[in-house]
Amino acid sequence: MRKVAVIGIGSSRFGVRNDVNMAELVFEAFKPSIEDAGISPKDVELLAFGSAGAGVWCEEFVPAAVAAEYCGLTGAGIVRCEAACASGSAAFTTAYWAIASGHVNLAVAVGFEKMRQVETSTAIEWIGRAGQYFWEFHNFGVTFPAYYALYARSHMARYGTLEEDLALVAVKNHKYGSMNPIAHLRKRVTLDEVLGSPVVAAPLKLLDCCPISDGAVSIILASEEKVRELGIDTPVWIAGIGYSSAATNMSRRADYVGFESSVKAAGEAYEMAGVGPGDVDVAEVHDCFTIAEIIAYEDLGFCRKGEGPKLLRDGQTEIGGRIPVNIDGGLKSKGHPIGATGCSMIYELTKQLREDAAVEGRQAPMRNYVALAHNVGGTGHYCYVTILRR
């Protein structure tokens, strides 16, 4: 297998983007990514396009082809990848495989979703179908806040986790999101504001939940040979990738305090990269709800099971702590355009490894130049863990 690097990144602004159509939103991310890489659209051999909601939230049923034409990629190979909220990571991994296998030398992974063209109730219904439709959504009306509320209640019952601990995740991530110029929710919140916000699915409140967002992210990947040919002086290497899945029927889960798919995917990624949790300088984890970030600390090995709240309370997941997490605001504040999130994590970690986030006051200290992205689809139905290194 060949070495593969990230050589270009670009992101749209996240939020309610009624000012652009889907192709224009993708181009907003694609243009800076090819400029960053120093290439032209004709150099791209493959477009891997991550989107979970083709024909659901926005007008285009075949968004990859429409976006490719608008971006000048007609003639390149195109594939759309779907893995629910991990669709962006599925696209990134597909582009990685194509290069690592020797099939192409240069590919682009685009993560995209435009979710705000439909009513909120419609968006919530479609997201709710990302579990097992007939058993859970159709029969019981379970939506994603309810799924994660189940995990929150279980974690609280077993480990004594408090609602205040969940709220601390929101406070932290909104702090960093307020410093991120492309974030959807650029507003700091207090502990009291989080705890006093309306209940959505107890114990989760409105400010425990990520927003419904529009956004697109573009990542340019290249083979080692192409990196040399282009004279790239700051490549970020893909050191490890792990992936796994879990039962769609929640009654078949062993427990509700962690995701087995995250544990397995992380183990594969660590082994491939030859590193461990203690080597990671900065991480992006899937915090669609505040409990999800706490569970991720534990599943990824940043602390022992049940100790996630303590890691958070002690400030160890802030800049200056042992393992800064979601210092771009995470899904909670930066936003969660479902298909874009996996690529958005790579975008942020590439900035961190290049030490380009200092200008925004969000730079994590680098000891080992190792970064980790953890992207979950559904409620652990899919999981991708990617380790980057510079």
CATH architecture group of domain 4-119+212-230: 3-Layer(aba) Sandwich (3.40)
At 125 the pLDDT is 75
Chain CA centroid to CA 49, Å: 15
At 139 the pLDDT is 59
At 174 the pLDDT is 98
At 252 the pLDDT is 84
Count the neighbouring beta carbons within 10 Å of the beta carbon of residue 227. 22
Return d(Cα 265, Cα 222) in angstroms, integer. Answer: 23
The secondary element (H helix, E strand) that includes residue 8 is: strand 4-11
At 247 the pLDDT is 87
Which letter does DSSP use for residue 377 in this model? E
Minimal CA–CA distance to 18: which of 64, 63, 58? 58
What is the DSSP annotation of 66-123? HHHHHTT-BTBEEEEE-BTBTHHHHHHHHHHHHHHTTS-SEEEEEEEEE-TTS-HHHH
Backbone angles phi, psi at 59, to 5 degrees: -75, -25
The C-alpha angle 301, 302, 303, rounded to 5 degrees, equals 85
**Two structure tokens written together for 221:** 């990947």
Q: Annotated catalytic sites, by residue?
A: 85, 336
Determine if the pTM surpasses 0.85: yes
At 298 the pLDDT is 98
Domain ranges in the chain? 4-119+212-230
- pLDDT per residue as tens, the chain (390 positions): 899 999 999 999 999 999 999 999 999 999 999 999 999 999 999 999 999 988 788 888 899 999 999 999 999 999 999 999 999 999 999 999 999 999 999 999 999 999 998 888 888 777 777 777 666 665 566 788 989 999 999 999 999 999 999 999 999 999 999 999 999 999 999 999 999 999 999 999 999 999 999 999 999 999 999 999 999 988 999 999 999 999 888 778 889 999 999 999 999 999 999 999 999 999 999 999 999 999 999 999 999 999 999 999 999 999 999 999 999 999 999 999 999 999 999 999 999 999 999 999 999 999 999 999 999 998 899 999 999 999
Minimal CA–CA distance to 209: which of 157, 156, 143, 308? 143
At 127 the pLDDT is 77
**Two structure tokens written together for 318:** 């802030």
Return d(Cα 152, Cα 309) in angstroms, integer. Answer: 12
* 203 upstream amide cis, omega within 30 of 0: yes
Length of the chain: 390
